Amino acid sequence: VPAFYALKDTRTPAIISLISVLANILMCFQLRDNFGFAGLALAASLAGVVNFVLLTYLLRKRIRIIEDGPVLKALLRIVAATVLTGAVVWLSREFVIEPYIADKAHHIFELILLGGIAIVAFVASCFLLGVEELSQITKKLKGRFGRT
């Protein structure tokens, strides 16, 4: 969106945002019946993807990005790491955590545990897939906390 603003175009992001909101509303109605509250979250995520794809397509069309191969490769690796993380979290919940946590009083523990599993799975997936941004983040964190 800031790139469009820099091009003095505020109309395109507004139109795409409206399309994304409409897509979110439609998907909420479609996914709610089959997936309950998870369907609402999925609808919001998919609407975000619609927003990203449309804005990216229109921006690339407008400014003719030539050297975007490395960016697309990094994006694919991060998407793959995200899918792997989702699979690990789902499998952990279904087959490891859910059988042992049956009462609602322990759901906060389940949430914290799954959050930790997600962080570890995402970092490990990024490492295994060679996501360069992981090493950049690691260097920044080491520099911020005084380790060399």
Task: For residue range 83-124, list pLDDT tens digits in order.
Answer: 999 999 999 988 888 777 767 677 788 889 999 999 999 999
Confidence (pLDDT) at 22 = 97
Residue 15 has pLDDT above 90, yes or no: yes
What pLDDT does 100 receive?
Answer: 76
Determine the straight-line distance between the first and last CA of the chain, rounded to whole angstroms.
36
pLDDT at 13 over 60: yes
Q: Return the pLDDT at 147.
A: 56
State the DSSP code for 104.
Answer: G
Provide the pLDDT confidence category of residue 81 given band limits of 50, 70 and 90: very high
Query: Does the pLDDT of residue 140 top 80, yes or no?
Result: yes
Max avg pLDDT among 12-26, 27-41, 101-115, 133-147? 12-26
Residues with Cβ within 8 Å of 82's Cβ and at least 6 positions away in sequence, in order, are 122, 125
| pLDDT score for 130 | 93
pTM of the model: 0.69
Per-residue pLDDT tens over the stretch 18-31: 999 999 999 999 99
CB 4 within 8 A of CB 10: yes
DSSP states of 36-96: THHHHHHHHHHHHHHHHHHHHHHHHHHH--S--HHHHHHHHHHHHHHHHHHHHHHHHIIII
pLDDT for 66 equals 67
